[in-house]
Amino acid sequence: MTTKTIAFGQVKKYARVADRLMEFRTANPNALIETTPTIQSDGQILFRARILKDKANESSGEATGHALGENKGTKAFEKLETIAVGRALALLGYAADGEIATSEEMEEFEAFKKNKLDELVLAMTEKLDGVKTLDELKAVWVDMPIEAKTILSAKKDEIKAIIETESKVK
């Protein structure tokens, strides 16, 4: 059985935990999967997942997986449990390309990266909106991270044209 995968970026492929779990359950119908949440002193939740390939045979193959995170957002508790199970499954060989990270973790990471990029672009837009001279524009542009430059190139050109037009009018 080939586990379905999802591509993140241009190189890595990740399999959803649900698909890997189905593959595992098909191959190991007598398996045991236990999950245990523990609330930490800082309020975070640590999930521990223990998987035994055959509950009648303690030496059949066992793995544990862990996930630590905050119980914030939609289904955060369930996501942490899924990540812990996914890590245990990966350690038992149920993962695409031998990756330990789950597709759920990668989706969360991609969302985090997008949020950070959005914050960066907003901050850089505010800086661009505040420039009054070509020298100020150059200074802001030189210090701007490449990720923001890619997105804000047209805005920079707009501001440059406005400054140049205003300086000709004076």
Question: Average pLDDT of 49-53?
Answer: 94
- pLDDT of 96 > 70? The answer is no
Q: What are the tokens at 36?
A: 């245990």
Kindly report, as residue ranges, where domains of CATH 3.30.160.20 are found in the chain: 6-103
The residues near 58 (Cβ < 8 Å, ≥ 6 apart) are 52
Higher pLDDT, 102 or 70: 70
pLDDT of residue 145: 85
- pLDDT of 33 > 60? The answer is yes
- pLDDT of 8 > 50? The answer is no
Res. 3 pLDDT band, cuts 50 70 90 = low
Architecture of domain 6-103: 2-Layer Sandwich (3.30)
pLDDT of residue 1: 45
